Structures are given as structure tokens and as C-alpha cells.
Structure 1
């Protein structure tokens, strides 16, 4: 199919394909987004698309901090792409038009800084994943030895990192008398607004103490909770969607019907009317953040490592195994939920039940391997925070410990059949070296990995309730494999 999706093609799309309900030529740039991946395009860009007809000031300029792939796909399409919402009932297609322009940061550094400095830009949003903040996941502090941070402090005007771009743009705005933009992180970090504020303030302090005070006192960083499952787009997805559209789309995104966005309402320079699109504005996001990080993301990571080791390609495949359903329901009901403190009216039972349904959605081909990426950055938020709360309450952690042990087994880089695992993690080489040093001993491997302070901190490796249970689970995974361990782990006598 030679024709590509673009503005000129919109009128000719099939009648059942929803398209922008506004004149794209009339929208301005109110938002700069860093990290233009599939999640942003299935979540924040969709909410923004919903409100542009009422307020056209909030178009998005989206920047990739690394790869040109998204630019190469979307620029010939005038920034347009297709959102495919898939469920057991079928597929609904919608063309999203809120992204006005895509920038590849490494080759357009000054262009990105110029648009971030423009007074019309009042919000900078981020989906750069946990590792993109160049921080220590165990403490939430800026990792001042991170290579990108070292570079950015030495070469302020040509940054590489998200903190570097944001602080340099804020420095320029301050110098020009332009009020600071709001920084809105949409990544899975604990207290994500406060965490990004801590990272940015420290970076700015290292540039100039006065700039550090300015960031600390003047820059708003609301906390958020985002929730939508977005698998990687496959070639089969592209082919199917092209057939439905009648034109090619180089990079559609596929997602589920469920979507949620909860935000602290702190936007000194204004914001879109996202509440009209279903965003919940609250005074305190933390309860919702814990709910999502611990119930959805913690379960997802547990499913990813154990499912991959069991030979299940997708989450839905794993959840077709009733032993996995029992494990995940028990994890959510008995170990995670007692650590949550939700506001009145929140229905945790409905949320947990919905998660099981979402995980079982066979129309979403969400690969366990994809979810397993960057585990060293994810474990502290997804599982270890819950572990700490359970230990403080002197409560059991067997299911949580099994998820941690499965991560340890996974990062050895060798699966249960002796085949290589393509471990994608910023610490992959270090973790593999530790695994090789353990020489196949579960006890030695656990000891080596517990010493990775960036993941486990200083407290957990000293608590035998944690180390003992994880080591026991890891030994079981080596001895009898993941599928059998999932079946009988909660019944230690079997």
C-alpha cells in the first residue's frame, strides 16, 4: 500500500474511523512532550486530542530523546497516527491529531530548547521510563555519576538527558523573564511529582545555587497516576489497520478500552480542560499511585518474569493458566491491598477484578518479554515498596518474594531450557556478571544480587525475613521450574 496517512487523506477515511474534530492548522503549541513512545500516544495525546476542539492552544510538540524511529514514522504523516482500541468485542479505530510536530532531540537540540523556552509552552510532560530520570531508584535522588548527567553539567547548552533539557530551558526562561512551565511526569515513579522535583532541583543546584532555589520555589511538578495497557505494535497490527483505513500508517498504537489519568491540580500557567475528557483532578494522587503501581504494575512484573520463564509469550497466555490467576489474585488481595489507604468511595475490589479481566484480554498481545524490560529500575517501585510495608507490619511476603526471585532468575540471561534470554536493562551487563559469578547456586546468586544497592537499598538485604523467603523461592525456581513453583509456592509443604 503506497499511500500514507496524512492530513489530505483524512476526508477519505472510512466513515467508522473517528478523526480530529478540529482544524489542525489552527492549533498552537502549549505542551512539549519528552519521550514520544507508544504509551504517550495511547494516553496523554488522546486526552489532549479530546479537548482541542474547545481550546486549540494545547497542541503538542513531541520529542524523542534517543531514536529517530517515531519521527521517521510520523513526520511524513503530518504527525497523525491511528489509535486501535482492542477488546474481545472487536476493534475501534481513531486517528489522533494532537501531535503537531516531532523532534529528534540529538539532532535538533536547539530547536527543542527554543520551543521549550517559548512563552506559549506552559506544560512539559514526560514519559521517559524510570531510567530516563537518571536517578537512584532506591533513594529517588539524582544520580550525579550518571554519564548523561556528567555530560549535561559540563555542556549545559547541548543536553542529552530529560533533566538536562528541562533545567536548561528553565534557565533560559528565567533569564528572559518568562514564567516557568509546569513539569508533568507521567512515569511510574514513587510520588512521581516530588521525585522529579527533587531530581530537577538538585541538577539546577549543581549548575547554580540561585537556579536551584528558583526551581525549588517556582517550578510546579504535580504528581500523576496514569493507567492504560499499551503493547508494542506488531507488523500484523500495521497490516490489519492499513486494510481497515485504506492507507498505510507506519506506526499505529494498539491499546485496551480502559484508561485512567489522575492529576494533582497545580498548573500556575494554565492547563487544558482535561477533566472534560475524563481526567480526575485531585488534591492528593499518592493513594491512586500506590494502587496502580502495586496492584497493576507489581502484578504485571510478577506475571512477566514468571510467565516468561514458564514459556508464556503474552500476559493473556499466562492468565489462561489458573495457577497464575490464583497467584495474582492472592498477591493483590492478601499482600498488596492491606498496604493501600484509599479515599472514601474507592472500590478496590472492582479495580482488582477489572485488572484480572484486563490481563486476560486475548486481543492485547502484551509480551511478557516487553514488560520484563528495565527490571532493576522497576522493582523498587512495583514490588519492594510493598515488601517494606509488609515487613513493617510483620506480615507475610511469599508472593511478593516469588516475584523478586523470578526477576533474579530472569536476569541470569539463561532460561529453563538453557537458551539465552535477551535481557534489556541498564544494568544488564553488571547483573549477568554477578549471575555468572554465582555459578548456578541460588544462594550465591541471591547474595550477589541483594548487594546491588541501587535496587534493594541498605535495609532489605539486612532483613532475614526478606532475604530468606526470596532465596527459598529462587532455589525452588531453579530446582523445579517456574510453572510448578507458581502452582505450589503458597503451600510450602507440597
Structure 2
């Protein structure tokens, strides 16, 4: 039986269980321009906008901008830019999203992007372009990168997000002088400032006279986003078609959980995202710390222990009672006491929710995938909590065990040629040189010498003791023994 494609006319043919827009698509407009209309954006920010549209806030539709490929535009244009969100929990729920009004492809129509950004009707510019789209090197914008060089030399055909925004601000300042907010929606510390630095760099070359106007009329803000969004494959496409009764070229899936913490710094009209569940705050840094120390640290701990226990996925590791108990107690007994949690967040509840999310077998996290680049990640996820615990004379025995497990993980994954880490070759050389009995070398290579934990002899001795215990009896038994001591 032929299945009709998803578009406006097919909405009436959707299964009754599928949630769909309660607004007329033709009666909404796009006051938001978004760079990077990929899966995460479509499963996160666009859903918040769709909720606003469903509440009658008709101006908060989105014009997407692709800086590279036309694929998403090509997939969605024939569908009237409608797509299906599959929410993967104990039961799969479906929702058709209509928030995206159009997608422009920068290399094809650069002036159309600039003109849309410059329109006074545009109130908000947002970005999910991943870290590489910010062209950073050693914490600053890499002015030698060919794309940055292109935009420094000419704004006739911008390549970077900085170039497009700068070109638009030059035009906007002359045409309407309407205020504008630029909001980073990538999980990047001080992402708003990064965007501001890049735009000012380009404007400083092409239009210094615009800079004072930008300082007064353009806000650059940051946000923290959280929702797991897997890549779309043919299995998802076929399942969505079977379950909804229409064929969608580009469905997207996500976990039930979603979070958006937004810096309350706007220069013009502010979208009422709080009506859709987002949280406006004066400072997002405490929320970033909570995510790093609980969600990300929990992931890292389970990745190492799960791999050592022979598990492929994080949710499998949590089926092992000792590993689940250890991770929960590490976060609640070692990390929580030394972490300032915002008043909007209940620390213990947040930890419980994180572990429940990790148990979702419908969205499996591979232990090796989570363990990618772990030598860099533990510098943010574990070391600061340990230093805080040591300075407060607070218990950090769980974290000492977690570091020992991490060293064992690195050694085992390296021996199996499964270690995906920028320091993989260095670790392999240590192992070849017979450094298997020395946790110091591995932790030093991972940057531990920059933290006070490295010179705390008592702490490091406990890491070394737990390391030998794991090697002697295995990870799961070592965890069990630790919990019963």
C-alpha cells in the first residue's frame, strides 16, 4: 500500500495518536533566524518554538540557515518544512513539528540570508553549529583559518556565522536600527561572548563605525541545552512511516527529557520560551557546573566501569547493581556536598533523573562512545570536584576509585585498540614502556598535575590502591568490595 508523503495536506491523515500543530502554518511568521538546522535543533529549540506557536504566539517561527549542505532544505521543502519528532521512552510518542518556515542555504543565496537577518522583523538569531563552527584555537578565534580569512578579506559572500551576522548588522544599522539578540545554543562556555568576539573581529575590519551601534543595540547571550538526539537512519524513517501513516524524509528522534537554560540578556523583544518550559536566568554558569559534575561525570564513571565489566552500553552497566549504587553514591556523597546547586535545582532529584535517563535502553549510549576523549573530559568532570572535596576535607573516596577505574579503562581500551582519545599514542607508549603499575603517569598526562589532587599523597595513594584492587579482582567485584568496606 502506498503511503502518502508528509506535508500540509497529509496532516488530516495522520494517526489520531500523533500530536500535530493546532495552528495554521500560513498564519505564522519567523522572527527567529537559526544557523544549523540539524537534528539537535529540530528536536530541541524548534520544539520549544512549536509549543509557543501552539499557544498562539504566532511570530516565533524559524527561518533556518545551513552554512554548508542543502540536504536538510531539500528533505524538508517538499514536506512544507514539517517533520516528525519521535520521543523514545517506554512508549514511543510522535509529534509533527511545524515551527520551521523555511531553510536558506548560505553558499547558494548569501544575500538572502543577510537580508533576512537585517529585517527589523527578525528579533532573535540562534546557533547550533557545534564547536568547529566557532573556529577556536587556544581559546581564541583562529584568524588564520581559511574561512575566517575569507570573511576578513570580503563580506560579499560570507562563509562563517560571524561573517553573515556582521554583514547583516551593517545593513540593519543603516536600514532600521532595530535591536537584535544573538543567542548561542551550543553547549559552549560563554558562547555568547564567543559570537560577540567573532562578529566584532569582522566588523572591526569592514565597518568600525557600526561597532558603537552594536554595543548599544545587540545582545550576545549564552544558553545551556540538554537533550539526547541520535542520528536519523532508515530504520527510524521506516518505523515513523509505519506508525504514523505518512512518509517523512527527515524524522528526528529524542529522549523524553529536554532542558534549556537561557541567559536573560535580550536587546529587543524576548521570545516567551519560559511558557514552553525553558528557564531564564541571570547566570548560566552554575547550571553548566551542575551538568558537568553530575550528568557528564556520571557518564564518565559508568563508561569506565561498564567497559571494564564487559558492557557495551551505559544502560547495561546500570543493570549491575553495584555499579548503579556506586555511581549514585559517588555523585550524592562526594560531588553534591562540594557543588553549589542553583535554587531552581534539587541536587538529589537531578542526580536521580540523570541516572533514570541513562537507563533508557531505547536511546543506548555506547560505553566507548561516552569514553571518547576521556583524558580531556575528566579535567572538567572529575578533577575540580576532587580538589573541592580535598580543600573542604570532605570525602572523595568514590572519586579516587573512579580515577583508578579510568586508568584501568585507558589501559584495557588501549590494549584492545579501542581507545579513541587524542592522547591514545602517548598512553600506548606508557604501556609499552611498562608503566602499567603507575597511575601517576596516566593522570599526569591527562592534566592532573594542574590540580592539587596530584600532590596530595594520601589521595594519590588511595587511587593507586584501588587501581591494583580492580586489576586483581575485576571491576564489578572491586566495586562490591568498596561498597561493603
Contact in 2 for aligned 1:188/1:293 (Cα 8 Å): no
Contact 1:409–1:474, Cα closer than 8 Å, also in 2? no
Aligned to 1:79: 81
Partner SS for 1:332: helix
Do the aligned partners of 2:180 and 2:217 also contact (CA within 8 Å) in 1?
no
Name the CA shift for 1:338/1:83 in 2 (closer, same or farther; >3 Å): same
Please give the secondary structure, in 2, of the residue aligned with 1:248. coil
**Equivalence for 2:39:** 38
State the partner residue of 1:362. Answer: 361
Contact 1:261 1:280 in 2 (8 A): yes
Asked if residue 262 in structure 1 is aligned to residue 264 in structure 2, the reply is no
Match runs of 1:124-163 below 5 Å: 124-135=125-136, 140-146=139-145, 148-163=147-162
In structure 1, the residue matched to 2:59 is: 57
1:207, 1:387 → 2: CA distance? 47
Tell me the SS of whatever aligns to 1:331.
Answer: helix
| Cα 1:142/1:232, change in 2 over 3 Å | same
Give the equivalent residue in structure 2 for 1:4: 5
Q: CA deviation at 1:246?
A: 1.4
> Using a 3 Å threshold, how does the CA distance of structure 1 residues 174 and 436 change in structure 2: closer, same or farther?
farther
CA contact (8 A) 2:123 2:268 kept: yes
Question: How much does 1:365 deviate?
Answer: 2.7
- Indicate the RMSD between aligned Cα atoms, in angstroms: 4.1
Q: Structure 1 residues 485, 393: closer, same or farther in 2, change over 3 A?
A: farther
1:290 is paired with a residue whose SS is helix
Does residue 284 in structure 1 map to residue 283 in structure 2? Answer: yes
Between stretches 376-385 and 64-73, larger displacement belongs to 376-385
Q: What is the match of residue 246 of structure 2?
A: 247
1:368-389 deviation digits (Å, cap 9, x = unpaired) = 4554556677555544554554
Residue 479 of structure 2 is aligned to residue 487 of structure 1: yes
Deviation string for 1:411-458 (max 9, x for gaps)? Answer: 89x83662445x4xxxx6x54454455464469997589568xxx599
Alignment of 1:435-474 (within 5 A): 435=427, 437-438=429-430, 440=432, 441=435, 456=447, 459-460=450-451, 463-465=454-456, 472=464
Is the CA contact (8 Å cut-off) linking 2:86 and 2:93 kept in structure 1? yes
Distance 1:135 1:237 in 2: 34
Distance in 2 separating the partners of 1:477 and 1:123: 55
In the alignment, is the contact (CA less than 8 A) between 1:66 and 1:105 conserved in 2?
Answer: yes
Q: 1:451 to 1:370 in 2, by over 3 A?
A: closer
Cross-structure match for 2:271: 272
Per-residue deviation, 1:49: 0.3
The equivalent of 2:119 in structure 1 is: 118
Contact 2:330 2:398 in 1 (8 A): yes
Q: Is the 8 A contact 2:401 2:467 kept in 1?
A: no
Alpha-carbon deviation of 1:279? Answer: 2.1
**1:2: how far off?**
5.6
**TM-score, length basis structure 1:** 0.80
How far, CA to CA, are the matches of 2:194 and 2:62 in structure 1? Answer: 24
* 1:21 equivalent in structure 2: 22
Distance 1:457 1:156 in 2: 44
Measured in 2, the distance between the counterparts of 1:471 and 1:210 equals: 58
Gap change, CA 1:202 and 1:478, over 3 Å in 2: farther
Distance change (3 Å), C-alpha of 1:264 and 1:368: same
Aligned pair in 2 of structure 1 residues 93, 208: CA closer, same or farther (>3 Å)?
same
Aligned to 2:296: 297
Q: 1:485 to 1:120 in 2, by over 3 A?
A: farther
Q: Whole-Å Cα distance in 1 between the matches of residues 215 and 473 of structure 2?
A: 50
In terms of Rg, which structure is larger?
2
Correspondences of 1:306-455 after superposition (within 5 Å): 306-307=305-306, 311-344=310-343, 346-372=345-371, 381-383=380-382, 385-386=384-385, 389-390=388-389, 393=392, 415=413, 418-420=416-418, 423=420, 431-435=423-427, 437-438=429-430, 440=432, 441=435
Decide which moves more: 477-486 or 392-401.
Answer: 477-486
Residues 307 and 190 of structure 1, relative CA distance in 2, 3 Å threshold: farther
Report the count of equivalent residues.
480
Q: CA contact under 8 A between 1:64 and 1:103: conserved in structure 2?
A: yes
- For 2:302, what is the secondary structure of its paired residue? helix
Counterpart secondary structure, 1:270: coil
Residue 386 to residue 70, structure 1, CA distance change in 2 (3 Å):
farther
Aligned residue number for residue 70 of structure 1: 72
